[in-house]
Structure 1
């Protein structure tokens, strides 16, 4: 992302301190074989529980800026939950050694099969689905900060791959778009890029021209005191995804104090919900139970939420 020294402090704030909360039974493994197209050389790490379910779901968890795959692994409970429910977790590692942020700006990463970091990550998904007989209809993505920005990119560029996403303190798909892989958009970060829902939706649809299939459902979280990626970015995500998903512009239901006191959940329909976290800065806390429920990842039967079974939420 940023290359200008004047922005170094701001970009540095995208690095989130992650507590060691993982109690996973197995180790994080690095995949070194040729797993498919990976034009930017994204690192591939994976967590495979001892007891895999038959046809296991796959969760992609990209790390925050100035972090690495092992930070995402140790800084959340997803691997521990994988031990319990038998799904696989992919922890990609940013190839950008300058700041370890994700490429969410290049025309390549913002295009279906166009290249960039997003293609490398999707190649990991395709490899895992093939090697472990994974469920191609139950592939999910979640991340915080730069990982949330990449989650938006993955769902926008690859709606044919992902069933759902969950993004904490990110920005709308295409908000950082610029000339190159390492673009920092101060206008986007500070909430100055404001578009209509139709304008945002056009950007998403341009990533995969002619695509008429299933669109992944999405949930987004943002703190009202975020001074790194300003709270206006939540509003832009809401406008973008509700329009893409054909949902109302205003919530059909609002729930206070969930999943944390002071957080407000807004439901726009079965495929999109947002959470505004009152007084919370950029360092927003992961909410694994809420994400797990959104993805239905605790389900191990035959009627779990998937791309082809959208009735279960």
Structure 2
């Protein structure tokens, strides 16, 4: 999966890696981790005070090391002073994340999601990180995990960016390595209210801050069909209480043929015309969306949970 886009960025990624100020480091014994997810972290030498944290889950058949090499997060961390966490699943069969078990889809319930949240909490304590500026972005299985994390742990994350994923709970199957052909092929179709119920059941009684989210999908994706993009839109507009009618449309952004739809201040969706599952990640777009280029010098200056709106 993603062989072509990965190959295109490999040389550039190697160049980035050769210029980094620090190294990718594995951490062990970091807290509750029922599925034995591995924890790798990049901490730049030029770390800003109270640094933000970006979580970057890999795709199926991928690894933490590959995300480190193929994405520019570490180089951006050097420039802007934020920490990046690269989790690595223990699923050796296909390296896909647990986005299906009841445990992972439940707040503090277990699964891969709890292991990743433990990494975040460890890093916040170890480096004096900003608990209001924790973000997550991934592609494919990593995008599914992004949906899971912002859905099940709205108290931890400030925002998410999901590239070619599926709605929260779409793969639900009460096991740790479920592949749902029905979901992948776009056959699971529900109302926005039904989708939102899955999110709200993940953390019963929670009524606090909801992380903002952007979802992006190619129009000719034949791995995770484009209908999943439409279902994500229904799910998250309902969670936020927005109308499913777009209130802003911008064509040819960030690339020719891509269209951005905004539904409210905390949710936007990008449709990439003619793009298959190898959607080319636009790291600059993610950095801007998370406001990770901002160095916090005053309370509320940069985007954070504290400055965000409640949903």
Normalised by the length of structure 1, the TM-score is 0.93
Are residues 1:30 and 2:26 paired?
Answer: yes
**1:3-82 aligned within 5 A:** 13=1, 18=6, 19-20=9-10, 21-22=12-13, 23-24=16-17, 25=20, 26-32=22-28, 34-82=29-77
Q: CA deviation at 1:15?
A: 6.7
Counterparts of 2:173 and 2:87, CA distance in 1 = 23
Counterpart of 1:208 (choices 186, 203, 211) is 203
Q: Which has the higher helix share?
A: 2
Q: CA deviation at 1:14?
A: 6.6
Q: Which residue does 2:98 correspond to in 1?
A: 103
User: Matched residue of 1:203: which SS?
Assistant: helix
User: Matched residue of 1:172: which SS?
Assistant: coil
Q: Which residue does 2:286 correspond to in 1?
A: 291
Q: CA deviation at 1:179?
A: 2.5
Q: Which residue does 2:117 correspond to in 1?
A: 122
Q: Which residue does 1:138 correspond to in 2?
A: 133
**1:81-92 aligned within 5 A:** 81-92=76-87
Are residues 1:180 and 2:178 paired?
Answer: no
Q: Is 2:5–2:280's contact at 8 Å kept on the other side of the alignment?
A: no
Give the aligned CA root-mean-square deviation in angstroms.
Answer: 1.1
Are residues 1:244 and 2:239 paired?
Answer: yes
Counterpart of 2:305 (choices 299, 304, 307) is 307
User: Matched residue of 2:138: which SS?
Assistant: strand
Counterparts of 1:242 and 1:291, CA distance in 2 = 20
Note closer, same or farther for the CA distance 1:262–1:230 as it changes in structure 2 (3 Å cut).
same
Q: Is 2:101–2:176's contact at 8 Å kept on the other side of the alignment?
A: yes
User: Matched residue of 2:114: which SS?
Assistant: helix
Counterparts of 2:153 and 2:4, CA distance in 1 = 26
Alignment deviations for residues 220-267 of structure 1 (CA, whole Å, 9 cap, x no partner): 000001000000000010011111111121110100000000000001
Note closer, same or farther for the CA distance 1:16–1:134 as it changes in structure 2 (3 Å cut).
farther
Q: CA deviation at 1:48?
A: 0.5
**Which segments of 5 or more consecutive residues in structure 2 lack a partner in the other structure?**
none
Q: Is 2:5–2:279's contact at 8 Å kept on the other side of the alignment?
A: no
Counterparts of 1:280 and 1:192, CA distance in 2 = 20
Note closer, same or farther for the CA distance 1:310–1:16 as it changes in structure 2 (3 Å cut).
farther
Q: CA deviation at 1:201?
A: 0.5
User: Matched residue of 1:273: which SS?
Assistant: strand
Q: CA deviation at 1:310?
A: 1.9
Counterparts of 2:164 and 2:181, CA distance in 1 = 15
Counterparts of 1:187 and 1:281, CA distance in 2 = 19
User: Matched residue of 1:153: which SS?
Assistant: helix
Q: CA deviation at 1:16?
A: 7.0
- 4+ runs deviating over 4 angstroms: 14-17
Are residues 1:263 and 2:263 paired?
Answer: no
